Amino acid sequence: MRRVGVVTVGRSDYGIYRPLLRAITQAPDLDLWLYVSGAHLSPLHGNTVAEIEADGFPIRARIPITLADDSPASVATTMGLGVLGFSQAFADQPPDLLVVLGDRMEMLAAVVATLPFNIPVAHIHGGEATEGAIDDVIRHSITKMSHLHFVATETYARRVIQMGEEPWRVHVTGAPALDACAEMPLLPLAELEQRVGLPLKEAPLLVTYHPVTREPEQTEREFDALLAALRQWEQPIVFTYPNADPGHAHIIAGIEDFVAAHERAVAVKHLGAQAYFSLMHCAAAMVGNSSSGIVEAASFALPVVNIGNRQKGRLRGPNVIDVVGDAQAILEAIRLAASHGFHSRLMGMQNPYGDGRASERIV
């Protein structure tokens, strides 16, 4: 029985992981060891560890490392606490393999902690590029410390190999998030309305905006421009909270002020994957700079207004409209994205990130 450790540090990666975790638990020769850290254990970000507990996955260790302050010093401290916390968890009894995903700083801390223990690392979603975020540096660092690479597309496989990784270690599996899109039943509209606390008979905008870590001053300018555009939008708006990167405090404050002033808008700390996908299914458009607008949204043929450079360099489908962080440009892009004509053009589109069978390939 091989002990497969999996690191989850927040709602975004957990929603991607869920089908894979289920596949691991169903494999007769694999034993799932789940390491929970980061925003999962933060009240500010919704204490989303409760969702893991509700799903019934066994938690091997909880590593609390997220600080309330989002200053650069606190972020560096968080990474240091992560190395310490994960090393203590591994010292008890190390897994035979550690699975990490993406480009979060907490993931990097976990991988650094594996080095003295000689724990092999499997990295999901390597080889990608996000030129507007420090995620690139973190992602590529994780790639160079990993032993197996499960990438979403052939383009990303070539990039990992160009970085010096042996081709036999690199496997094109598609994006695991699409597995959940394919298998998860969507909520009825009445239940979704109850979950978000807003009538949704008019198709809403789904707004997910995260800090731009390579351009911290750009975060405030872009987000303020987004809010200015949304003040001129008269249909329902559902905000989700940002991740824990430096700059999230300004975004949260702006969301809460907007919601307090506009009855047509709500903010939800944590929707859960089922409600999030259900909103994607019924939304007029998605607006922001989240990777979910690049990867998952295409499975719903959902128009996406992608703001700024945070996702620059990532492969995207025809559903994505890229726009600069200017209020008028954002508003015009939202109007185009929500139009019947644009929706019609997306009917039957294919998601460039895979077919919803990544988990079985990874296992």
Percent of the residues in the chain that have a pLDDT greater than 70, as a whole number:
98
If asked whether residues 147 and 203 sit together in one domain, one would say no
If asked whether residues 197 and 144 sit together in one domain, one would say no
Answer whether residue 178 is part of any domain: no
If asked whether residues 37 and 159 sit together in one domain, one would say yes
CATH of the domain at 42: 3.40.50.2000
If asked whether residues 128 and 256 sit together in one domain, one would say no
Answer whether residue 361 is part of any domain: no
Query: Which residue is listed with tokens 């405030």?
Result: 220
- pLDDT tens by residue, 181-228: 888 899 999 999 999 999 999 999 999 999 987 777 788 999 999 999
> What residue type is 21 in one-letter code?
L
If asked whether residues 156 and 71 sit together in one domain, one would say yes
If asked whether residues 144 and 228 sit together in one domain, one would say no
Domain count for the chain: 2
Q: What is the pTM of this model?
A: 0.84
If asked whether residues 158 and 210 sit together in one domain, one would say no
Domain that holds residue 149: 2-172
Answer whether residue 179 is part of any domain: no
Answer whether residue 355 is part of any domain: no
pLDDT at 281: 96
If asked whether residues 234 and 326 sit together in one domain, one would say yes
3-state secondary structure 202-222: CCCEEEECCCCCCCHHHHHHH
If asked whether residues 290 and 161 sit together in one domain, one would say no
- The answer, yes or no, to whether residue 115 has pLDDT greater than 80, is yes
Answer whether residue 180 is part of any domain: no
Cα 306 versus chain centre, distance: 15
If asked whether residues 6 and 152 sit together in one domain, one would say yes
Mean local confidence (pLDDT), 120-129: 95
Q: How far is CA 238 from CA 108, 205, 209, 253, 266, in A?
A: 31, 6, 12, 15, 5
In this structure, what token pair is assigned to residue 129? 């590029």
Answer whether residue 58 is part of any domain: yes
If asked whether residues 127 and 225 sit together in one domain, one would say no
Residue 23: closest CA among 253, 282, 363: 363
CB 27 within 8 A of CB 117: no
**pLDDT bracket for residue 132 (50, 70, 90):** low
Answer whether residue 100 is part of any domain: yes
In this structure, what token pair is assigned to residue 14? 């957990």
Helix boundaries (H) for the chain: 11-26, 49-55, 72-92, 105-114, 135-144, 154-162, 177-183, 189-196, 216-230, 248-261, 273-282, 291-294, 327-337, 340-345, 358-362
Answer whether residue 357 is part of any domain: no
If asked whether residues 236 and 140 sit together in one domain, one would say no
Q: From 172, 197, 217, give the residue that closes a domain.
A: 172
